[in-house]
Amino acid sequence: MNQLDLSINPESSKPNNREHYNWLQQAAEWAETKWGYMRNFPGNVERINLLLEIKQFFYLAIYEAQDKNQHLVGTFALTPDKVDLEQEKKFLQSKNYVSLLKNEKAVSLKYVYVHDNFRDFGFGTQILNQAKQIAKKDHALMTAHLLTPNVHGFYAKRDAVFKAEIAETRAHEEPCTLIHFVK
């Protein structure tokens, strides 16, 4: 997994990694076509601007084929989460997840996506595992706000603890389910 590199070479005023700029546009298109309808987002330009605001938290899942060509297969972001950490620790303690009480901050898993052509090859699990490793290294509790219940099974099989039912919490003004990752 590569962190999104959108730095500019000061001498040439060109991107240090042009491919990442192209992949940013692709990620914005994925986000807009897959989730944009939920939030009535104004399109790819605004989505790119939103991703640029979180670029230091945004990751690309790249697959290198046998011919050495690289393909963007998926994305994820780990942004600071504004959950009440003490309240979340109490919730986890009530579920007997005491080991997580050492967490010093919380991060929210967002923009998890695997391109349709690369599904069922384990990339989603790899993305989730990478996100968990980053959160663990930063001593952060990892949460996610799921806008659609059709992904609950995927996360449940991968150690997610579901805190709230649909409509009990909100993300982007949409009803969602708040989950925590415990391993």
Instruction: Say which CATH number the domain at 49 has.
Output: 3.40.630.30
Res. 38 pLDDT band, cuts 50 70 90: low
Res. 78 pLDDT band, cuts 50 70 90: very high
86-107 pLDDT per residue, tens: 888 888 888 887 665 567 788 9
Query: Pairing mode, if any, of strands 70-80 and 105-114?
Result: antiparallel
| pTM summary value | 0.81
CA–CA separation, 74 and 68 (whole Å): 18
Alpha carbon 21 to chain centroid, angstroms: 18
Using DSSP, state whether 8 is helix, strand or coil: strand
Taking all residues of the chain, what is their mean pLDDT, rounded to a whole number?
80
Name the residue range of residue 19's domain.
2-181
CA–CA separation, 183 and 102 (whole Å): 13
Using DSSP, state whether 64 is helix, strand or coil: strand
Res. 68 pLDDT band, cuts 50 70 90: confident
CA–CA separation, 57 and 140 (whole Å): 14
Which structure tokens are listed for 31?
């986000």
| pLDDT at residue 166 in the model | 45
| pLDDT at residue 126 in the model | 93
Find all residues with CB under 8 Å of 137, minimum gap 6, and list them.
none
Mean pLDDT of 7-34: 78
Which structure tokens are listed for 39?
């939030």
CA–CA separation, 110 and 77 (whole Å): 5
DSSP 140-152: EEEEEEES-GGGH
| pLDDT at residue 124 in the model | 92
Q: Environment class of residue 51 by beta-carbon count within 10 Å: exposed (0-12), middle (13-18) or buried (19+)?
A: buried
Total domains, the chain: 1
Mean pLDDT of 171-175: 58
Residue 108 · residue 141 · CB < 8 Å: no
| pLDDT at residue 83 in the model | 80
Of 6-15, 78-87, 132-141, 173-182, give the lowest mean pLDDT range: 6-15
Using DSSP, state whether 173 is helix, strand or coil: coil
CA–CA separation, 82 and 69 (whole Å): 39
